[in-house]
Amino acid sequence: MVELAVGDRRILARSDFPAFLDALNKLGYRVVGPTVRDGAIVYGPIDRVEDLPVGWTERQEAGKYRLERRGDEALFGYAVGPHSWKKYLFPAHERLWTASRKESRFVPAPEPADGPPLAFLGVRACELAAIALQDHVFAKAGDVAYATRRARALRIAVQCGQAGGTCFCVSTGTGPAVGPSHDLALTEILTAERHVFFVEVGSPMGARVLASVPLGPASVEDERTVEQIVARTSASMGRTMVVSGIRDLLVNHPEHPRWELAGQRCLACTNCTMACPTCFCQTTEEVPDLSGERVERWRRWDSCFNSAFSELHGTPIRKSTSSRYRQWMTHKLATWHDQFGSSGCVGCGRCITWCPVGIDITEEAAAIRASPPPQVVEERT
Protein backbone atom coordinates (compact mmCIF):
# COMPACT_ATOMS: atom_id res chain seq x y z
CA MET A 1 0.00 0.00 0.00
CA VAL A 2 1.39 3.38 -1.08
CA GLU A 3 1.32 6.19 1.47
CA LEU A 4 0.34 9.42 -0.27
CA ALA A 5 -0.28 12.92 1.03
CA VAL A 6 -2.15 15.96 -0.22
CA GLY A 7 -0.12 17.58 -2.99
CA ASP A 8 1.67 14.39 -4.06
CA ARG A 9 1.90 13.79 -7.81
CA ARG A 10 2.06 10.47 -9.58
CA ILE A 11 1.59 8.87 -13.01
CA LEU A 12 -1.31 6.50 -13.71
CA ALA A 13 -0.91 4.42 -16.85
CA ARG A 14 -3.90 4.11 -19.19
CA SER A 15 -3.67 0.33 -18.80
CA ASP A 16 -4.19 0.75 -15.04
CA PHE A 17 -7.29 2.94 -15.32
CA PRO A 18 -9.56 -0.09 -14.66
CA ALA A 19 -7.73 -0.57 -11.35
CA PHE A 20 -8.52 3.06 -10.52
CA LEU A 21 -12.25 2.46 -11.13
CA ASP A 22 -12.07 -0.74 -9.08
CA ALA A 23 -10.53 1.16 -6.16
CA LEU A 24 -13.45 3.60 -6.18
CA ASN A 25 -15.97 0.77 -6.23
CA LYS A 26 -14.24 -1.06 -3.37
CA LEU A 27 -14.51 2.07 -1.23
CA GLY A 28 -18.26 2.07 -1.79
CA TYR A 29 -18.49 4.82 -4.39
CA ARG A 30 -20.80 4.71 -7.38
CA VAL A 31 -18.85 6.29 -10.21
CA VAL A 32 -20.68 8.75 -12.47
CA GLY A 33 -19.04 10.56 -15.32
CA PRO A 34 -19.07 11.33 -19.06
CA THR A 35 -20.58 8.82 -21.45
CA VAL A 36 -21.97 8.94 -24.98
CA ARG A 37 -25.75 8.82 -25.25
CA ASP A 38 -28.34 10.30 -27.62
CA GLY A 39 -25.75 12.08 -29.72
CA ALA A 40 -24.08 13.93 -26.85
CA ILE A 41 -21.58 13.46 -24.04
CA VAL A 42 -23.72 13.32 -20.90
CA TYR A 43 -23.18 12.23 -17.30
CA GLY A 44 -24.21 8.75 -16.24
CA PRO A 45 -22.99 5.57 -14.49
CA ILE A 46 -19.42 4.47 -15.26
CA ASP A 47 -18.82 0.78 -14.57
CA ARG A 48 -15.83 0.25 -16.88
CA VAL A 49 -13.43 2.27 -19.00
CA GLU A 50 -15.43 1.51 -22.14
CA ASP A 51 -18.36 3.50 -20.71
CA LEU A 52 -16.29 6.69 -21.09
CA PRO A 53 -16.34 8.67 -24.39
CA VAL A 54 -13.21 6.91 -25.69
CA GLY A 55 -12.04 8.59 -28.89
CA TRP A 56 -14.90 11.11 -28.99
CA THR A 57 -14.93 14.88 -28.97
CA GLU A 58 -17.51 17.51 -29.82
CA ARG A 59 -17.85 20.66 -31.90
CA GLN A 60 -19.72 23.52 -30.22
CA GLU A 61 -20.89 26.89 -31.46
CA ALA A 62 -23.84 29.13 -30.67
CA GLY A 63 -26.90 26.90 -30.99
CA LYS A 64 -24.83 24.00 -32.36
CA TYR A 65 -23.47 20.78 -30.88
CA ARG A 66 -22.13 17.77 -32.80
CA LEU A 67 -20.15 14.72 -31.73
CA GLU A 68 -17.06 13.93 -33.77
CA ARG A 69 -14.50 11.15 -33.78
CA ARG A 70 -10.99 12.00 -32.65
CA GLY A 71 -7.89 10.58 -34.25
CA ASP A 72 -6.83 8.93 -30.98
CA GLU A 73 -8.20 7.01 -27.99
CA ALA A 74 -8.43 9.86 -25.46
CA LEU A 75 -10.81 9.22 -22.55
CA PHE A 76 -11.49 12.89 -21.83
CA GLY A 77 -10.93 14.56 -25.20
CA TYR A 78 -13.93 16.88 -25.06
CA ALA A 79 -15.00 20.08 -23.27
CA VAL A 80 -18.45 19.97 -21.59
CA GLY A 81 -21.81 18.57 -22.60
CA PRO A 82 -25.38 19.60 -21.72
CA HIS A 83 -25.31 18.07 -18.24
CA SER A 84 -23.78 19.60 -15.15
CA TRP A 85 -23.09 18.01 -11.77
CA LYS A 86 -26.03 19.83 -10.21
CA LYS A 87 -28.24 16.99 -11.54
CA TYR A 88 -26.75 14.88 -8.73
CA LEU A 89 -26.35 17.48 -5.98
CA PHE A 90 -29.56 19.40 -6.71
CA PRO A 91 -31.84 16.89 -8.52
CA ALA A 92 -34.39 18.16 -11.01
CA HIS A 93 -37.25 16.64 -9.00
CA GLU A 94 -36.95 15.42 -5.43
CA ARG A 95 -39.01 14.81 -2.31
CA LEU A 96 -37.73 16.94 0.57
CA TRP A 97 -39.77 15.55 3.45
CA THR A 98 -42.88 13.66 4.46
CA ALA A 99 -45.20 14.74 7.28
CA SER A 100 -47.68 12.47 9.05
CA ARG A 101 -50.53 13.44 11.33
CA LYS A 102 -49.86 12.82 15.01
CA GLU A 103 -53.02 13.61 16.94
CA SER A 104 -53.67 17.33 16.29
CA ARG A 105 -50.47 18.19 14.42
CA PHE A 106 -48.24 17.08 11.56
CA VAL A 107 -44.72 15.79 12.28
CA PRO A 108 -42.26 16.12 9.37
CA ALA A 109 -39.57 13.52 8.63
CA PRO A 110 -36.70 14.57 6.32
CA GLU A 111 -35.94 12.45 3.28
CA PRO A 112 -33.06 10.06 4.07
CA ALA A 113 -29.92 9.98 1.93
CA ASP A 114 -30.48 7.30 -0.68
CA GLY A 115 -27.90 5.05 -2.30
CA PRO A 116 -24.11 4.94 -2.12
CA PRO A 117 -21.92 8.04 -2.16
CA LEU A 118 -21.02 9.30 -5.63
CA ALA A 119 -17.61 9.74 -7.25
CA PHE A 120 -17.79 12.49 -9.89
CA LEU A 121 -15.29 11.49 -12.58
CA GLY A 122 -14.25 14.15 -15.08
CA VAL A 123 -15.10 17.40 -13.29
CA ARG A 124 -13.71 20.35 -15.25
CA ALA A 125 -12.22 23.45 -13.62
CA CYS A 126 -15.28 25.57 -14.46
CA GLU A 127 -17.49 22.86 -12.95
CA LEU A 128 -15.49 22.81 -9.73
CA ALA A 129 -16.10 26.55 -9.57
CA ALA A 130 -19.82 25.97 -10.22
CA ILE A 131 -20.04 23.42 -7.40
CA ALA A 132 -18.33 25.91 -5.07
CA LEU A 133 -20.87 28.57 -6.05
CA GLN A 134 -23.80 26.25 -5.38
CA ASP A 135 -22.19 25.24 -2.09
CA HIS A 136 -22.40 28.90 -1.09
CA VAL A 137 -25.96 29.33 -2.33
CA PHE A 138 -27.38 26.25 -0.62
CA ALA A 139 -25.36 26.77 2.55
CA LYS A 140 -26.78 30.29 2.84
CA ALA A 141 -30.26 28.77 2.43
CA GLY A 142 -29.56 26.07 5.04
CA ASP A 143 -30.48 23.34 2.56
CA VAL A 144 -30.03 20.02 4.37
CA ALA A 145 -30.73 17.81 1.33
CA TYR A 146 -28.02 19.50 -0.73
CA ALA A 147 -25.52 19.50 2.14
CA THR A 148 -26.01 15.77 2.75
CA ARG A 149 -25.34 14.83 -0.87
CA ARG A 150 -22.46 17.25 -1.20
CA ALA A 151 -20.67 15.91 1.87
CA ARG A 152 -20.70 12.40 0.37
CA ALA A 153 -19.46 13.34 -3.11
CA LEU A 154 -15.88 12.71 -4.28
CA ARG A 155 -14.62 15.17 -6.93
CA ILE A 156 -12.20 13.73 -9.49
CA ALA A 157 -11.21 16.65 -11.67
CA VAL A 158 -9.77 16.47 -15.18
CA GLN A 159 -7.72 19.27 -16.72
CA CYS A 160 -9.09 20.43 -20.06
CA GLY A 161 -6.89 19.37 -22.96
CA GLN A 162 -8.92 21.46 -25.38
CA ALA A 163 -11.34 24.35 -25.17
CA GLY A 164 -14.88 24.23 -26.53
CA GLY A 165 -16.11 26.64 -29.17
CA THR A 166 -18.23 28.50 -26.60
CA CYS A 167 -15.92 28.31 -23.57
CA PHE A 168 -14.73 31.52 -21.87
CA CYS A 169 -13.50 30.32 -18.47
CA VAL A 170 -10.27 32.29 -18.85
CA SER A 171 -12.37 35.48 -18.82
CA THR A 172 -14.22 34.48 -15.65
CA GLY A 173 -11.07 33.25 -13.90
CA THR A 174 -12.45 29.75 -13.37
CA GLY A 175 -10.21 27.69 -15.66
CA PRO A 176 -8.96 25.90 -17.55
CA ALA A 177 -6.41 25.03 -14.85
CA VAL A 178 -7.96 22.98 -12.06
CA GLY A 179 -7.85 24.81 -8.74
CA PRO A 180 -7.32 23.35 -5.27
CA SER A 181 -10.95 22.38 -4.54
CA HIS A 182 -10.79 18.72 -5.60
CA ASP A 183 -10.05 15.29 -4.18
CA LEU A 184 -8.02 14.14 -7.18
CA ALA A 185 -6.97 15.95 -10.36
CA LEU A 186 -6.06 14.13 -13.57
CA THR A 187 -4.35 15.43 -16.67
CA GLU A 188 -4.48 13.15 -19.70
CA ILE A 189 -1.11 12.99 -21.50
CA LEU A 190 -1.48 11.30 -24.87
CA THR A 191 1.32 11.08 -27.43
CA ALA A 192 2.41 8.55 -30.03
CA GLU A 193 4.69 6.98 -27.40
CA ARG A 194 2.60 6.97 -24.23
CA HIS A 195 -0.89 7.34 -22.81
CA VAL A 196 -0.86 8.22 -19.11
CA PHE A 197 -2.57 10.40 -16.52
CA PHE A 198 -0.73 12.89 -14.36
CA VAL A 199 -2.47 12.61 -10.98
CA GLU A 200 -2.40 15.15 -8.16
CA VAL A 201 -3.79 14.37 -4.70
CA GLY A 202 -6.14 17.05 -3.40
CA SER A 203 -7.51 15.52 -0.18
CA PRO A 204 -6.91 12.68 2.29
CA MET A 205 -9.83 10.80 0.71
CA GLY A 206 -8.20 11.16 -2.68
CA ALA A 207 -5.00 9.70 -1.26
CA ARG A 208 -6.96 6.78 0.17
CA VAL A 209 -8.47 6.01 -3.25
CA LEU A 210 -4.99 5.75 -4.78
CA ALA A 211 -3.55 3.55 -2.04
CA SER A 212 -4.22 0.31 -3.94
CA VAL A 213 -3.76 1.66 -7.49
CA PRO A 214 -0.53 1.00 -9.45
CA LEU A 215 1.26 4.33 -9.86
CA GLY A 216 4.57 5.56 -11.17
CA PRO A 217 6.68 8.60 -10.31
CA ALA A 218 5.94 11.92 -11.98
CA SER A 219 8.93 13.67 -13.53
CA VAL A 220 9.72 17.34 -13.98
CA GLU A 221 9.08 16.80 -17.69
CA ASP A 222 5.60 15.50 -16.88
CA GLU A 223 4.85 18.63 -14.86
CA ARG A 224 6.09 20.77 -17.74
CA THR A 225 3.83 18.87 -20.13
CA VAL A 226 0.82 19.55 -17.90
CA GLU A 227 1.64 23.26 -17.89
CA GLN A 228 1.87 23.23 -21.69
CA ILE A 229 -1.52 21.49 -22.01
CA VAL A 230 -3.20 24.08 -19.80
CA ALA A 231 -1.48 26.96 -21.61
CA ARG A 232 -2.57 25.61 -25.00
CA THR A 233 -6.15 25.26 -23.81
CA SER A 234 -6.12 28.79 -22.37
CA ALA A 235 -4.98 30.18 -25.70
CA SER A 236 -7.77 28.45 -27.65
CA MET A 237 -10.88 29.73 -25.84
CA GLY A 238 -13.87 29.97 -28.15
CA ARG A 239 -15.21 33.16 -26.52
CA THR A 240 -14.07 36.04 -24.32
CA MET A 241 -15.91 38.38 -21.98
CA VAL A 242 -14.66 41.56 -20.35
CA VAL A 243 -15.83 41.20 -16.76
CA SER A 244 -14.25 44.34 -15.30
CA GLY A 245 -17.02 46.65 -14.12
CA ILE A 246 -19.74 44.41 -15.52
CA ARG A 247 -21.94 44.68 -12.45
CA ASP A 248 -22.34 48.45 -12.75
CA LEU A 249 -22.52 48.19 -16.54
CA LEU A 250 -25.61 45.98 -16.52
CA VAL A 251 -27.30 47.58 -13.53
CA ASN A 252 -26.92 51.02 -15.12
CA HIS A 253 -28.41 49.94 -18.47
CA PRO A 254 -31.87 48.54 -17.62
CA GLU A 255 -33.43 50.17 -20.70
CA HIS A 256 -30.68 49.37 -23.19
CA PRO A 257 -32.19 48.47 -26.60
CA ARG A 258 -30.15 45.27 -26.64
CA TRP A 259 -32.55 43.73 -24.10
CA GLU A 260 -35.43 44.10 -26.53
CA LEU A 261 -33.39 42.64 -29.39
CA ALA A 262 -32.51 39.60 -27.29
CA GLY A 263 -36.13 39.25 -26.21
CA GLN A 264 -37.29 39.19 -29.83
CA ARG A 265 -35.03 36.19 -30.51
CA CYS A 266 -35.42 34.38 -27.18
CA LEU A 267 -37.92 31.49 -27.13
CA ALA A 268 -38.12 31.46 -23.30
CA CYS A 269 -37.49 27.71 -23.63
CA THR A 270 -35.41 27.66 -20.37
CA ASN A 271 -32.59 25.65 -22.02
CA CYS A 272 -29.95 28.08 -20.75
CA THR A 273 -31.06 27.80 -17.12
CA MET A 274 -31.47 24.02 -17.26
CA ALA A 275 -27.97 23.53 -18.73
CA CYS A 276 -26.34 26.17 -16.50
CA PRO A 277 -24.29 24.58 -13.68
CA THR A 278 -25.07 27.40 -11.22
CA CYS A 279 -28.74 28.28 -11.81
CA PHE A 280 -30.77 27.27 -8.77
CA CYS A 281 -34.33 28.53 -9.38
CA GLN A 282 -36.83 26.10 -7.93
CA THR A 283 -40.43 25.68 -6.95
CA THR A 284 -41.98 23.53 -4.21
CA GLU A 285 -45.38 22.01 -3.68
CA GLU A 286 -47.13 20.00 -0.99
CA VAL A 287 -48.84 16.81 -2.16
CA PRO A 288 -51.33 15.39 0.39
CA ASP A 289 -52.81 11.92 0.22
CA LEU A 290 -56.57 11.44 -0.01
CA SER A 291 -56.93 10.57 3.66
CA GLY A 292 -55.42 13.85 4.84
CA GLU A 293 -53.12 11.91 7.17
CA ARG A 294 -49.91 12.35 5.17
CA VAL A 295 -48.35 15.07 3.02
CA GLU A 296 -45.14 15.24 0.99
CA ARG A 297 -43.13 18.27 -0.04
CA TRP A 298 -41.58 18.04 -3.51
CA ARG A 299 -39.07 20.37 -5.14
CA ARG A 300 -38.37 20.72 -8.85
CA TRP A 301 -36.24 22.94 -11.03
CA ASP A 302 -37.86 26.12 -12.27
CA SER A 303 -36.63 29.01 -14.39
CA CYS A 304 -36.84 32.79 -14.33
CA PHE A 305 -37.76 32.53 -18.02
CA ASN A 306 -41.15 31.07 -17.08
CA SER A 307 -43.72 33.87 -16.88
CA ALA A 308 -45.37 32.30 -13.83
CA PHE A 309 -42.09 32.29 -11.90
CA SER A 310 -42.43 35.98 -11.04
CA GLU A 311 -46.17 35.94 -10.35
CA LEU A 312 -47.52 37.87 -7.38
CA HIS A 313 -51.23 37.41 -6.69
CA GLY A 314 -51.64 35.76 -10.08
CA THR A 315 -49.95 38.55 -12.06
CA PRO A 316 -46.41 38.12 -13.48
CA ILE A 317 -44.01 40.94 -12.70
CA ARG A 318 -41.94 40.27 -15.83
CA LYS A 319 -44.49 39.95 -18.59
CA SER A 320 -42.16 40.29 -21.60
CA THR A 321 -39.50 37.83 -22.71
CA SER A 322 -36.97 40.67 -22.92
CA SER A 323 -37.54 41.53 -19.24
CA ARG A 324 -36.99 37.90 -18.28
CA TYR A 325 -33.80 37.67 -20.32
CA ARG A 326 -32.59 40.89 -18.67
CA GLN A 327 -33.38 39.47 -15.24
CA TRP A 328 -31.43 36.27 -15.93
CA MET A 329 -28.33 37.90 -17.40
CA THR A 330 -28.26 40.79 -14.91
CA HIS A 331 -28.59 38.42 -11.98
CA LYS A 332 -25.97 36.02 -13.34
CA LEU A 333 -23.32 38.65 -14.07
CA ALA A 334 -24.23 41.57 -11.80
CA THR A 335 -26.57 41.27 -8.83
CA TRP A 336 -25.18 37.82 -7.95
CA HIS A 337 -22.22 39.87 -6.63
CA ASP A 338 -24.59 41.65 -4.23
CA GLN A 339 -26.27 38.42 -3.17
CA PHE A 340 -23.32 36.03 -2.89
CA GLY A 341 -20.15 38.08 -3.29
CA SER A 342 -19.11 36.78 -6.71
CA SER A 343 -20.27 36.33 -10.27
CA GLY A 344 -22.73 33.53 -10.98
CA CYS A 345 -21.08 32.67 -14.30
CA VAL A 346 -18.18 30.23 -14.66
CA GLY A 347 -17.65 30.61 -18.41
CA CYS A 348 -18.61 27.06 -19.42
CA GLY A 349 -20.54 28.30 -22.48
CA ARG A 350 -23.44 25.88 -22.09
CA CYS A 351 -26.03 28.67 -22.31
CA ILE A 352 -24.59 29.64 -25.71
CA THR A 353 -24.33 26.13 -27.14
CA TRP A 354 -27.75 24.93 -26.02
CA CYS A 355 -29.73 28.05 -26.93
CA PRO A 356 -31.84 26.97 -29.94
CA VAL A 357 -31.46 30.40 -31.55
CA GLY A 358 -27.82 30.89 -30.56
CA ILE A 359 -28.09 33.89 -28.23
CA ASP A 360 -24.57 34.51 -26.94
CA ILE A 361 -24.18 36.00 -23.45
CA THR A 362 -20.66 37.23 -24.30
CA GLU A 363 -21.97 38.98 -27.39
CA GLU A 364 -24.81 40.61 -25.47
CA ALA A 365 -22.46 41.86 -22.76
CA ALA A 366 -20.07 43.26 -25.38
CA ALA A 367 -22.91 45.06 -27.18
CA ILE A 368 -24.07 46.75 -23.98
CA ARG A 369 -20.49 47.68 -23.10
CA ALA A 370 -20.08 49.29 -26.50
CA SER A 371 -22.73 51.88 -25.63
CA PRO A 372 -21.76 55.15 -23.90
CA PRO A 373 -22.42 55.36 -20.14
CA PRO A 374 -25.69 56.92 -19.00
CA GLN A 375 -25.71 60.69 -19.09
CA VAL A 376 -25.81 62.35 -15.67
CA VAL A 377 -27.69 65.65 -15.66
CA GLU A 378 -26.63 67.95 -12.86
CA GLU A 379 -29.37 69.99 -11.23
CA ARG A 380 -28.73 73.70 -11.15
CA THR A 381 -29.84 75.75 -8.21
pLDDT for 122 equals: 97
pLDDT for 318 equals: 87
- How far apart (Å, rounded) are the C-alpha atoms in residues 270 and 308? 13
The proportion of the chain whose per-residue pLDDT surpasses 70, expressed as a percent, equals 97
- How far apart (Å, rounded) are the C-alpha atoms in residues 55 and 44? 18
Does 220 score more than 90 pLDDT? Answer: yes
Asked whether 145 and 111 are in contact (CB, 8 A), the reply is yes
Please list, residue by residue across 138-173, b when 16 or more beta carbons sit within 10 angstroms of its beta carbon and e when fewer do. beeeebebbeebbebbbbbbbbbbbbbbbbbbbbbe
pLDDT for 111 equals: 85
Q: Tell me the C-alpha to C-alpha distance, in Å, between residue 9 and each of 207, 217, 221, 278.
A: 10, 7, 13, 30
More confident residue, 110 or 80: 80
Does 378 score more than 60 pLDDT? Answer: no
Residue 247, class by beta-carbon neighbours within 10 Å (0-12 exposed, 13-18 middle, 19+ buried)? middle
Helix (H, G, I), strand (E, B) or coil at 182: coil
Does 311 score more than 90 pLDDT? Answer: no
pLDDT for 373 equals: 54
Q: What would the pLDDT profile of 136-194 be if each residue is shown by its tens digit?
A: 999 999 999 999 999 999 999 999 999 999 999 999 999 999 988 899 999 999 999 99
Q: What would the pLDDT profile of 70-108 be if each residue is shown by its tens digit?
A: 999 999 999 999 999 999 999 999 999 999 998 888 888
pLDDT for 376 equals: 46
Q: What would the pLDDT profile of 191-204 be if each residue is shown by its tens digit?
A: 999 999 999 999 99
More confident residue, 115 or 376: 115
Does 375 score more than 90 pLDDT? Answer: no
Which of these, 206, 223, 218, 220, lies nearest to 4 by C-alpha position? 206
- How far apart (Å, rounded) are the C-alpha atoms in residues 353 and 62? 5
In DSSP notation, 24-79 reads: HHHTTPEEEEEEEETTEEEEEE--SGGGS-TTEEEEEETTEEEEEE-SS--SS-S-
Q: What would the pLDDT profile of 317-357 be if each residue is shown by its tens digit?
A: 888 999 999 999 999 999 999 999 999 999 999 999 999 99
The proportion of the chain whose per-residue pLDDT surpasses 90, expressed as a percent, equals 86
pLDDT for 348 equals: 97
| Confidence (pTM) | 0.92
- Report the residue count for the chain: 381
Strand-pair category, 282-288 with 56-61? unpaired
Beta-bridged to residue 58, according to DSSP, are 67
More confident residue, 2 or 328: 328
